[in-house]
């Protein structure tokens, strides 16, 4: 299984623009991108900031989400 991890570490205090196609990422997660595979319907998205068990503080700012269905 693949997951769209956008960033780990990286520069602080800089905004980044990230563009993904949620339907494609969903299909990649379940069926390695097989366009003909039967997958459950996509019903939502999740955004996560996690310290990955480092016991350190994790902080993130998110803004300007635009969701477009094709």
18-66: pLDDT as tens digits: 888 888 888 888 888 788 888 888 788 888 887 777 888 888 888 888 8
CA distance 37 to 11: 38
Residue ranges covered by each domain of the chain: 1-70
Q: Give the pLDDT score at 32.
A: 82
Check residues 30 and 3 and name the one with the higher pLDDT. 30
DSSP 8-state symbol, 31: H
Q: Give the pLDDT score at 70.
A: 63
């Amino acid at each position: 299984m693949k997951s769209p991890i956008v960033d780990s570490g990286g520069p602080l205090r800089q905004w980044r623009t990230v563009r993904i196609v949620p339907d494609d990422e969903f299909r990649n997660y379940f069926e390695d991108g097989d366009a003909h595979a039967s997958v459950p319907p996509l019903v939502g998205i999740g955004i996560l900031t996690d310290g990955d068990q480092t016991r350190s503080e994790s902080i993130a700012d998110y803004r300007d989400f635009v969701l477009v269905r094709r």
